[in-house]
Amino acid sequence: MNSFAARLLAWFDLYGRRDLPWQHPRTLYRVWISEVMLQQTQVRTVVPYFERFVARFPDLAALADASIDEVLALWSGLGYYSRARNLHRAAQLCRQRGELPDRFEHLLALPGIGRSTAGAILSQSLGRRHAILDGNVRRVLTRFHCLDGDPRSSENDTRLWSLAEELMPNERLADYTQAIMDLGATVCTRTAPACGGCPVRDDCKAYQRGLVSKYPMPRARRERPLRTRAFLWMSDAQQRVALAKRPAVGIWGGLFAFPDGDSIADVCHALRVEIPDGDADVTMRHEFTHFSLDMQVWCVRVECNAVEDHGLSWFTLEDALSLGLPQPVRRMIEDRL
């Protein structure tokens, strides 16, 4: 075994995370769910979501047979909802087989599974020799080798994949995969890495040269455009709220939210309700990967209950919280309770 892997595994035996819920039992299905949840979210946040998700959908068939609304409701608050839609779609594609495929190429062909996720699933659940390159591993290897330039450039991407493959041992692959993820998440952190406790510091070029803070080098920044959208919170005499299920494609696809439009006049005109006077009652900014959204929310009381004609349904605030809701909508409803 190479010395990087040997030292990392020895460190893992002492300090690694070995009590994560998807490790007991570490099946293809459970590791897949956890890896998709972890794609843009930290372990601490994922754990309760994972536990609720697998309690309700203990296997692939249960997930495939569920409605997308139920899946999105359990995902609500985790963000990046295309992950939930892809999980559901992939489960349906594999429904007949009853389990995920255990071949790398077949896994890669499923929606929402990229090269690193496929590698993590197979190495962790079956101990196969596949490298991973998530954000944490990318940072560790970039520092370990003092890799100059944008760490996401295609040249560095190729370099990092081949380094990740070279450093892998031939045994204890599940532990090794967890170990390198843990090292990035808990020691070689984005800010203030704890190099003094790092098992590979003797060979780490950035550490040896005193250049840790220089790596990874910053990516070329792209301006994130700002969009504004008007939302209408309608309540009736029983304090219920009118929500619409959003189209499957587009932001917050398949989730329930307040009706929205380019302007409050547009929204009210479409719903045939009086345009409220004055500015929005609530303005909040929500960040998406490619743009920022200023949500301007007007709150009105309506007497006419015929919102169903416009694709809306009334929900008590408690019932609304059991739906799949975008995070800012959930937060607003929780604040009202």
Angle at 292 between CA 336 and CA 218, to 5 degrees: 130
Does 204 help bind ligand SF4 (rule: CB under 6 A)?
A: yes
Does 185 help bind ligand SF4 (rule: CB under 6 A)?
A: no
Considering the complex, state which of residue 29 and residue 144 has its C-beta at the smaller distance from ligand SF4: 144
* Least distance (Å) between residue 197 CB and ligand SF4: 8
With beta carbons less than 8 A apart as the criterion, state whether 17 and 42 touch: no
What does the buried/exposed string (b/e) look like for 235-246 if buried means 16 or more CB atoms within 10 Å of the residue's CB?
Answer: beeeebbbbbbb
Please give the structure tokens belonging to residue 267.
């929204």
Which 4-63 residues touch ligand SF4, going by CB under 6 A?
none
- The packing angle between helices 173-182 and 115-126, to 10°, is 130
CA atoms in the 13 A half-sphere facing the CB of 16: 20
With beta carbons less than 8 A apart as the criterion, state whether 85 and 248 touch: yes
Quick one: which of 195, 275, 282, 321 contacts ligand SF4 (CB under 6 A)? 195
Question: Smallest Cα–Cα separation from 164: which of 207, 218, 120?
Answer: 120
Considering the complex, state which of residue 73 and residue 147 has its C-beta at the smaller distance from ligand SF4: 147
Catalytic residue among 35, 155, 166, 303: 35
Please give the structure tokens belonging to residue 140.
């560790």
* Least distance (Å) between residue 267 CB and ligand SF4: 50
Does 193 help bind ligand SF4 (rule: CB under 6 A)?
A: yes
- Map residue 234 onto helix, strand or coil: strand
Considering the complex, state which of residue 16 and residue 254 has its C-beta at the smaller distance from ligand SF4: 16
With beta carbons less than 8 A apart as the criterion, state whether 295 and 229 touch: yes
CA distances (Å), origin 320, targets 179, 324, 331: 40, 8, 11
CA dist 301 and 238 (Å) reads 10
Please give the structure tokens belonging to residue 199.
């098992």
* Least distance (Å) between residue 38 CB and ligand SF4: 20
Considering the complex, state which of residue 91 and residue 188 has its C-beta at the smaller distance from ligand SF4: 188
* Least distance (Å) between residue 163 CB and ligand SF4: 12
Q: Specify the DSSP element, H or E, that contains 221.
A: none
Considering the complex, state which of residue 57 and residue 207 has its C-beta at the smaller distance from ligand SF4: 207
Quick one: which of 88, 201, 246, 286 contacts ligand SF4 (CB under 6 A)? 201
Gyration radius from the chain CA atoms: 23
Q: For residue 6, is it left (φ>0), alpha (ψ between -120 and 50) or beta?
A: alpha
Does 137 help bind ligand SF4 (rule: CB under 6 A)?
A: no
With beta carbons less than 8 A apart as the criterion, state whether 200 and 267 touch: no
Considering the complex, state which of residue 187 and residue 297 has its C-beta at the smaller distance from ligand SF4: 187
Quick one: which of 22, 53, 176, 207 contacts ligand SF4 (CB under 6 A)? 207
The one segment of 118-126, 145-153, 190-198, 241-249 that binds ligand SF4 by CB under 6 A: 190-198
* Least distance (Å) between residue 188 CB and ligand SF4: 3
Residues in contact with ligand SF4, counted by CB under 6 A, come to a total of 14
Considering the complex, state which of residue 71 and residue 137 has its C-beta at the smaller distance from ligand SF4: 137
Catalytic residue flag (residue 35):
yes
* Least distance (Å) between residue 199 CB and ligand SF4: 8
Does 143 help bind ligand SF4 (rule: CB under 6 A)?
A: yes
Which 228-247 residues touch ligand SF4, going by CB under 6 A?
none
Active site residues: 35
- Contacts with ligand SF4, residue ranges (CB under 6 A): 140, 143-144, 187-188, 193, 195, 198, 200-201, 204, 206-207, 212
